[in-house]
Amino acid sequence: MLKARVDRHKCIAAGNCITIAPTAFDWQSDEAFKAGVVDVDSVEEEILREAALSCPTQAIEIEEVDELLPWQLRGKSSPRRVEKTFLFTDIVKSTDLVEAMGDEAWQSVLRWHDENLRAVFAANRGEEVVSTGDGFFVAFESPDDAIACGVAIQRSLAEHRRTQGFAPQVRIGAHAAGATQVGANFTGKGVHEAARIAALAEGGEILVSKETALGGRFPASEPRAVHVKGIAGQIDVVSIKWE
């Protein structure tokens, strides 16, 4: 079982990976116009590795999932269907921030961002699946935990801006769905939908599918229908009011 990650800072939008494996990689809907991972299980391993090798800056990293598991579980994990709420975070205009701040200052901001968000994940029973370089993919047992986590993140960032003068703008998206789990990784349509919903969010926004927000303790906007790349039909989404 393989997992892949695109280093957004190395990606130069050449598009070779998308040409070779269009179901595994696709353009991310953000200002940086970078390639991202969609579903590594949709292609054969040989094609996935060919796509990674085609990247002129070697921005794509491929790992064996077994290597990420405790030694007792290696070779013993089998795919299983689970119901989770998936949350994605992403720093808005991160490439512009790197250019404006310089590498050293940016790394300091990124370390603070990562430590702060990971503390909030843990406090809300979130399971970090992977770090994307300037964001996270996190799984939760319940929609309430995921939305509460998103609210806590935005409030923490807003408080830091108020007291310290700066914190990066972060977009957040969440979606409750079934998925296939192997080891610590999750794949499937539901994960793809969650990532696409997050990509539609603005900085400082928590955007979730309508069904995910139903019955929650946080107020939400009126639903609106959106079309997301790679998904047939439309998805109703709402913006969580956290201020």
* Model confidence pLDDT, tens digit, residues 68-86: 445 444 444 567 889 999 9
Domains of the chain: 2-68 (3.30.70.20), 80-239 (3.30.70.1230)
Contact status, residue 39 vs residue 2, Cβ threshold 8 Å? no
Own/partner pairs, 94-97, CB within 8 angstroms, 24+ separation = 94/8, 94/32, 94/134, 94/168, 95/8, 95/9, 95/31, 95/32, 96/31, 97/168
CA atoms of 50 and 16, how far apart (whole Å): 10
H helices of the chain, where? 16-20, 45-53, 94-101, 103-123, 143-164, 189-200, 210-213
> Per-residue pLDDT averaged across 162-168, rounded?
93
More confident residue, 242 or 187: 242
CA atoms of 141 and 186, how far apart (whole Å): 13
> Per-residue pLDDT averaged across 94-115, rounded?
93
Overall pTM > 0.95: no
Q: What is the pLDDT of residue 81?
A: 86
Q: How far, rounded to the nearest angstrom, does the alpha carbon of residue 205 sit from its chain's CA centroid?
A: 14
Contact status, residue 188 vs residue 179, Cβ threshold 8 Å? yes
Q: What is the pLDDT of residue 71?
A: 46
* Model confidence pLDDT, tens digit, residues 57-67: 888 988 765 54
- Residue that is written with structure tokens 């990971």 in the block: 118
What DSSP designation does 74 have?
Answer: T
Task: Give me the residues paired with residue 81 across strands.
Answer: 180
Q: Chain-wide mean pLDDT for the chain? A: 88
**Cα angle, residue 236 at apex, residues 189 and 207 outer, rounded to 5°:** 80
Q: What is the pLDDT of residue 68?
A: 46
What DSSP designation does 29 have?
Answer: S
Containing 90, the helix (H) or strand (E) segment is strand 80-91
Q: What is the pLDDT of residue 73?
A: 45
Three-class SS of residue 66?
helix
**Half-sphere exposure (Cβ direction) of 173: Cα atoms closer than 13 Å:** 26
* Model confidence pLDDT, tens digit, residues 17-40: 988 888 899 888 765 678 889 888
